[in-house]
Structure 1
Amino acid sequence: MNSLDADRELRATTNRTFLVVVDESDEMTKALRYACRRAQHTGGRVALLSVIQPAEFQHWMAVGDLMQEEARENAENRVNELAAYVHEHTGSMPLLFIREGRIKDELLKVLEEEEQISILVLAAGAHSEGPGPLITALTSSDIVGQLRLPLTIVPAALSDADIDALS
């Protein structure tokens, strides 16, 4: 093992970063709680990714621009609220990423660009349609085999007490 590999290994074991994808689902809060608990118990930290979907209303450009601006403001407010939660539960501020585009594409870009991220934490939905579109996209293709880090999926049926006991 060369010194660069040794440095990467040391960083990975001493500073785990748990990435949570922010959305409005109930199950996202379970992924966030799990990530906070794991970060707290391992001396790691949490990262939050919010992806702003492109505005579909393109009839009038000014309206589309206004919609994108409002979506960005809402995303920033949501991420800041969650950052306060992370700080309260871990004692440190999370890394924050706000991107614009398709969620799967932006997630894969962040995972490729940000080497400090060491674990992706998602929560499965409790819906009859499946675990959720992002989990389905990541696990039903060859993407999961190409990830450079572990993917942790938190079941939606877990209570806060269950999550606390596991982490």
Structure 2
Amino acid sequence: MNSNQDDRELLSSNNRTFLVVVDDSDEMTKALRYACRRAQHTGGRVALLSVIEPAEFQHWMAVGDLMQEEARENAESRINDLAGYVHEQTGFMPLLFIREGRIKDELLSVLEEEQISILVLAASANNEGPGPLITALTKSDVVGQLRLPLTIVPAALSDADIDALS
């Protein structure tokens, strides 16, 4: 049995999988810490999703391909670094998903295809709103399609606050 199959069997036998969308925002680390703490305290598992958005530069195909390849390498490096953190926090390696496409579409696909229990996102700390993904997911046409709870972690919480809550 391969590792991915082992992970899926563990996932199906476990009743809680916390999905965190990986990006470069400061608040993502808040969502990740919260998910790790909740997984640790409930016997759950963490899953990480990194989405590689299509390259905007399509004038020369070779340049666009190079940009996509570089974006994939960066995503793989970032998600592997975060996987180490999750392992340290929970004692388990997370499930890893790397997708290419529009973030909202790929997130909804993962939620449909995989056995995810709770989506954990963090709100932006700036005054421009909670962030584009939370805004997109909480629109009336999308929020009704979600088949799981959405947990939004305020970016203003300290690590101690998150630990106390989870």
Q: TM-score with structure 2 length normalisation?
A: 0.91
Spell out the pairing of 1:76-95 with structure 2 (5 A cutoff): 76-95=76-95
Name 2:154's counterpart in structure 1: 155
Aligned to 1:28: 28
Residue 39 (structure 1) aligned with residue 54 (structure 2) = no
Moved more, 138-147 or 154-163: 138-147
Distance in 1, matches of 2:141 and 2:13, equals 27
* Structure 2: runs of 5+ lacking an equivalent: 1-10
Distance 1:25 1:156 in 2: 10
- Separation in structure 1 between the aligned mates of residue 71 and residue 142 of structure 2, nearest angstrom: 28
1:54 aligns with 2:54: yes
Looking at structure 2, the residues matched to 125 and 13 of structure 1 have their Cα atoms a distance apart, in angstroms, of 34
SS in 2 for 1:97: strand
Deviation of the 1:122 alpha carbon: 0.1
Q: Give 1:5's aligned residue.
A: none
AA matched with 2:66: L
Query: Which residue of structure 2 lines up, in the alignment, with residue 129 of structure 1?
Result: 128
Aligned counterpart, 2:75: 75
What is the SS of the residue equivalent to 1:146? coil
Q: How far is 1:12 from its partner?
A: 8.0
Q: Give aligned pairs, total.
A: 156
Report the identity percentage: 88
> How far apart, CA to CA, are the structure 2 residues paired with 1:165 and 1:12?
29
Deviation at 1:15, TM superposition (A): 2.8
Aligned mates of 1:121, 1:14 — CA distance in 2: 17
Shift of 1:13: 9.2
Which letter does structure 1 place at the counterpart of 2:55? A
Distance 1:44 1:25, change over 3 A: same
Query: In 2, distance between residues paired with 1:145 and 1:12?
Result: 24
**Deviation of 1:158 (Å):** 0.4
Q: Contact conserved, 1:12 with 1:118, CA < 8 A, in 2?
A: no
Unpaired runs of 5+ in structure 1? 1-10
* Worse-superposed segment, 30-39 or 135-144: 135-144
Match of 2:8 in 1: none
Q: CA deviation at 1:140?
A: 2.2
1:22 and 1:60 mapped to 2: Cα distance?
Answer: 29
Runs of 4+ in 1 over 2 A off after TM superposition: 11-15
- Verify the 8 A CA contact 1:21 1:28 in the aligned structure 2: yes
Aligned-partner Cα distance in 1 for 2:13–2:63: 47
Q: 2:38 aligns to what SS in structure 1?
A: helix
